Structure 1
Amino acid sequence: MLNTIHYGVSSAHPASHYFDICLTIAEPDATGQVLWLPDWIPGSYMIRDFSRHLTPLKAFTRNGQSVSIAAIDKSSWRCAPVVGELLVRYRVYAWDMSVRTALLDQFGGFFNGTSLFLAVAGQEQRPVTITIEQPQGAEVSGNTDEWRVATTLTRAGAEPLGFGDYCAANYDELIDHPVELGVFDYEAFDVDGVPHAIAITGAHRGNTPRLINDLKRICETQIRFFEEPAPFSEYLFLLRVVGSGYGGLEHRSSTSLICNRDDLPSANEPNAPSAGYTQLLGLCSHEYFHSWNVKRLKPDVMVAPNLRQPVHTELLWFFEGITSYYDDQFLLRSGVINVEAYAKLLSQNITRHLQTPGRVVQTLADSSFDAWTKYYQQNENTPNVVVSYYVKGAVMALCLDLMLRAQDHDLDNVMRDLWQRYGRELKGVSNENIADVLISKLGSAAEQFLQQALHSTEELPWQSLLEDAGAKVTLSAANSVSLGVRTQSADDGGVQLRVVDPSGAAAAAGLSAGDVIIALDNLRVNAANWDKRIAQYAAGDSISVYAFRRDEWLSCRCVVAAAAHDTCSLVFTEDPSVWPASLASSN
């Protein structure tokens, strides 16, 4: 224990959703030890104030004498000076079904270190040990002996998948290994000599062998993409299946994922994966690619980020957008999907981009920089004023790839070049570093394109570049007419306006997000018949609209507009020498 920091993790009553933490500091600061908890988790760019889930902290000496502890601010505390070891006990409320925080009940648990582990100020680089104890309490589901632990934390005495002692080289490593505990399905598999595994939590009847086979092909393709051994000695997919949910968060040698139960491959899954299963594989591919692009090849400001405040960067278009471009490409390159399926995925992403009004309001660089306050704090007006650095970033990556291919290069070479220069040594990459590599291959055209794509709202030249590469591009309207709204079913019946385009017909009539429309031209409407009713009108028709705003009645007349041609469909040439058909066999 000498010169180390130790965390004990236990729970006396899991159904209460509390983790009990005991922090032991062998050599506390003689002037009074300061402790702090992160306010955000790397990979999710929003201040989350994890400290709100901590109960009051209590500090003691080794012999049990109470030590005073006082808050400095919302997420840091100072203990009174002590001689010898300092023990700090506290509880963490864990009842968030997400990949970012912590969850605990009688059926199992999950946590990220950013939610549980107080950092010891001034000693963040010291080695740490962790003891994860088996939960107590008669209410624990089934036999607690059936509970296991899934994590890539280094074992320091614990058996494989067992409770017990683990360790980390420092605080940064400690918080980058999420932990799953409970009853789960666990399957190990090998990828180019690197041990991989998947732990699936939640009731399901998925075809696990099919999932593992497809994951293995995707992982192999990505490892070989960078032309060197994987940057980790093992890798773990932590997958929680639920009735409705979706999300993922990358870590240095693992990822935590949530998916719909029905998205798992079925026992009779056809050779061509279903839309839901394709989405799950794309999520896995995305988070796995982050092992290189963001966990190691990362923005210079994220090499040693301050976890107490926002860390702004204009580069999320690169680290999320380019990853979003490659996640589907690796489904194609690994042979998990065919060219036609890839064309459909690419078409859907372009369509999402075209159907976002915010693309003509916010630049891509601003979208990245303002992620903390805009993209991650969305409301009903977000689609009107924000462009997604995931979606537009992927379209930008497509454009770069096609421009590079026209000059006998490709985006693959750029990624490998940046990895060799900056990623392997964890140097951090800047806007200028990326621009320099692109300019070395595209010349002044790169400068002009980066200015347009990142600092203006001018439409990207994706269509002309695709057509030059041999793709047939068709733009059509999803419907004949439009009110310029996105809708959802209202709790009390009718149709609630979820988003209202300020340039659309509904906004011109005075309707707002949140309004509940109950009738059009004296006929009742609901979520089930809304699309059919709107499709009965022609552009220029005037509709009597009856609605409620909160609990007050309103009526208006709305002049229907022609729907925009913002639905993209792509068909690639059958010539295998033309991009992207050749990608399916390039590895």
Structure 2
Amino acid sequence: MIQYRISAFDPKSHYIKVNLTINEPMQPEQKLRLPNWIPGSYLIRDFAKHITSINITSQSGQSIEVNTIDKSNWSFSSDEAVTIEYFVYAWDLSVRGSHFDESHAFFNGTSVFLEVIGQSNQACKVAIEPSEISQQNGWKVATGMPKKDIDANGFGLYQADNYHALIDYPVEMGTFTEIEFKACGIPHKMVITGVFECDEQRLKQDLVKICETEINLFGQPAPVEDYLFQVMVTGSDYGGLEHRNSTALICSRDDLPYVGMEEATDGYLQFLELCSHEYFHTWNVKRIQPKVYQDSDLQTPVYTNQLWWFEGITSYYDGLILQRAGLVDNKSYLNILAKQMTRVYRMPGRFKQSVSESSWLTWTKFYQQDENAPNAIISYYSKGSLIALGLDLTIRIETKGQKSLDDVLLYLWEHFGKSQTGLVDGQIEDICSEVSGIDLTDFFADYLFGTKDIPFTELFAEFGIDFNLRTQSGLDDLGGDTNDNAADTSLPNHLGANVSNTVQGTLKITHVWNNQPAYEAGLTAGDEVIALNGLKISTKAQLETLLKRHDNTKALTCHYFRRDELRKTSLMLEPPLKDRVALKELTINREKLSWLL
């Protein structure tokens, strides 16, 4: 058995201390390594760069030399048991790494637990030890790792079946708020860390509905004995990462429900979608998996074009689950769906890159996006969710409602997820045709491997829903229902760029769309616009007013800074594109609309 001891050592230096005991090192040489990436987040992150001060001592007290093989691999030689002591710098406030200060400590196993090569299949015993900071502040521990012998606050002994299980149980330590509930009889808990106010009862009730809806979709019993939501609250962050019986989430405090809130805010619905999305991964990713991910040692990138299914289908269902759970009505759901679709229709890169290619190149193009990303790539999350939607509608239409995407999902769960049999590229597309009884070869050729837009006008019409592309009603218009009958004329001009306010009182360009006004004027991402036609412009609100009032037959004189250089250009505005999606129920046909009702 491999044994680890870990503690939040020093909040000022942000060091987490780890001791690793190996009773029988491999002969003649024992190798150690740390993952270079974390499952569910496809970017080489080089976690080993945060390790300092590796020291190895033999059972007899002798110091053992450490050999550095490369950036994340080490070796040593010893014919007796050894203890390895090292420190991890934990200052990554995200769901992917580790973070430690006076308020809490959070870590993923990929950041802190060295793998003992050749002994990875052994059980791993982990002692999470209290430290001075944890004792002074009455910290508790929250983790999905199986418990062996812990105290009332959760400190003590845990055990994982093997190394790959070990790194799939993130740990939160602190004075968090706990929300406990049962879903289909299974204990669930949400722990929330940070400064916030929250209607805990409402959040609890909504989480029960989401979790029970998903459990019942896949069928009882659920594949977990308990489940943990670990939530970090900040001013403006957003994200999540799935694990085998837990998820790590980060959100804005404004996204949480507040006492007295009658109608769910957009931020709260976004948070519920995030919870729905990551919980859905309990089945679709953690158990229904690509084979290449199952075989990976987490050292180098692995490639698949299947992420359209694993993230795209999950992104489709995360909002649909809210509707099925009764948390939003049809109109609200269609509005959520329209905003999701708008994220695709605003991206000219959808005609440059297929979703299959987006998945294959996730390690570089998707996870390392630059300012030109909207022009060059598409997201397998957002466009993948549209493929899921188009696939669902197509199957329902062609089978006259006898089959749906649910049937494909459940087939994969029964035949692959329950046994955790890995899927190879191309297999899911074949299964979609097999389960539905429809030849979907052309569908996938056009929309998964090709770059065509899915014919949603015709597909939605079959269900009495109007699919409409409209112009933007304002700079912050994300699509959906504007509740504005004059939406097509409310913003008669557009810049062809995304902008943001800066603390310096300038307007910074963040993205420029090719072949649109800002592009033609020579403006680019990073430029700071300071004046238009000789008048200072420093906010998005001022720009929006100008876009509404300016005669687009006349050029604007634009002064701007590029780096610290003042420049001038001529800017011709143009009528806005129709790239915001709006969905509206026209007729109610309960049989055809069964996917919504």
- The bucket for the TM-score relative to the shorter chain is over 0.9
What residue in structure 1 maps to residue 50 of structure 2?
53
8 Å contact kept, 1:153–1:177: yes
How far off its partner does 1:63 sit?
A: 2.5
How far off its partner does 1:492 sit?
A: 2.6
2:513 partner letter: D
* 2:512 matches 1:520: no
For 1:319-468, list aligned pairs within 5 A: 319-406=310-397, 407=399, 408-442=402-436, 445-468=439-462
1:202 partner letter: G
Secondary structure of the residue aligned to 1:236 is: strand
What residue in structure 2 maps to residue 550 of structure 1?
563
Deviates more, 1:565-574 or 1:274-283: 565-574
How far off its partner does 1:161 sit?
A: 4.3
2:11 partner letter: P
1:417 partner letter: Y
How far off its partner does 1:443 sit?
A: 5.3
Query: Equivalents in 2 of 1:348, 1:579: separation in Å?
Result: 23
Structure 2, gaps ≥5 residues long:
473-490
What residue in structure 1 maps to residue 240 of structure 2?
248
8 Å contact kept, 1:10–1:20: yes
Deviates more, 1:28-37 or 1:481-490: 481-490
Distance 1:556 1:578, change over 3 A: farther
For 1:140-159, list aligned pairs within 5 A: 140=133, 144=136, 146-159=138-151
Query: Equivalents in 1 of 2:454, 2:596: separation in Å?
Result: 26
What residue in structure 1 maps to residue 84 of structure 2?
88
TM-score normalized with structure 1 length:
0.95
* 2:170 matches 1:168: no
Name which of 185, 188, 198 aligns with 2:190.
198
Query: Equivalents in 2 of 1:269, 1:160: separation in Å?
Result: 35
Deviations 1:47-74 (A, max 9, x none): 0000010003111101321000111010
1:377 partner letter: Q
Query: Equivalents in 2 of 1:432, 1:496: separation in Å?
Result: 43
TM-score normalized with structure 2 length:
0.94
What residue in structure 2 maps to residue 209 of structure 1?
201
8 Å contact kept, 1:134–1:144: no
Secondary structure of the residue aligned to 1:429 is: coil
How far off its partner does 1:576 sit?
A: 5.6
What residue in structure 2 maps to residue 9 of structure 1?
6
How far off its partner does 1:572 sit?
A: 2.2
For 1:473-484, list aligned pairs within 5 A: 473-478=467-472, 479-484=491-496
What residue in structure 1 maps to residue 578 of structure 2?
565
Query: Equivalents in 2 of 1:443, 1:416: separation in Å?
Result: 15
Secondary structure of the residue aligned to 1:188 is: strand
Query: Equivalents in 1 of 2:454, 2:67: separation in Å?
Result: 54
Deviations 1:289-316 (A, max 9, x none): 0000011001121122220001111011
How far off its partner does 1:328 sit?
A: 0.3
How far off its partner does 1:583 sit?
A: 4.1
Structure 1, gaps ≥5 residues long:
none
Secondary structure of the residue aligned to 2:189 is: strand
RMSD after superposition: 1.5
What residue in structure 1 maps to residue 482 of structure 2?
none
Name which of 105, 112, 123 aligns with 2:101.
105
How far off its partner does 1:579 sit?
A: 4.7
8 Å contact kept, 2:304–2:425: no
What residue in structure 2 maps to residue 181 of structure 1?
173
Query: Equivalents in 2 of 1:365, 1:310: separation in Å?
Result: 16
Aligned-residue identity in percent:
40
Query: Equivalents in 2 of 1:296, 1:71: separation in Å?
Result: 35
How far off its partner does 1:538 sit?
A: 4.0
Deviations 1:249-302 (A, max 9, x none): 0000000001111111111121x3111110000000000000000110011211
Query: Equivalents in 1 of 2:126, 2:94: separation in Å?
Result: 23
Query: Equivalents in 2 of 1:181, 1:427: separation in Å?
Result: 34
Name which of 253, 261, 265 aligns with 1:261.
253
2:236 partner letter: S
Secondary structure of the residue aligned to 2:335 is: helix
2:87 partner letter: R
Deviations 1:413-463 (A, max 9, x none): 010011111111111112332122222255564000001111211112222
8 Å contact kept, 1:198–1:239: yes
Deviations 1:168-197 (A, max 9, x none): 000011000100001111122111111111
How far off its partner does 1:351 sit?
A: 1.0
Name which of 512, 517, 523 aligns with 1:505.
517
Question: How many residue pairs were aligned?
Answer: 575
8 Å contact kept, 2:137–2:175: no
1:529 partner letter: Q
What residue in structure 2 maps to residue 218 of structure 1?
210
* 2:236 matches 1:236: no
8 Å contact kept, 1:332–1:583: no
8 Å contact kept, 1:480–1:538: no
Distance 1:207 1:569, change over 3 A: same
Deviations 1:372-396 (A, max 9, x none): 0011111111111110111101111
8 Å contact kept, 1:303–1:427: no
How far off its partner does 1:360 sit?
A: 1.2
Query: Equivalents in 2 of 1:12, 1:404: separation in Å?
Result: 56
Deviations 1:329-368 (A, max 9, x none): 0000000111111010001011111111211111110100
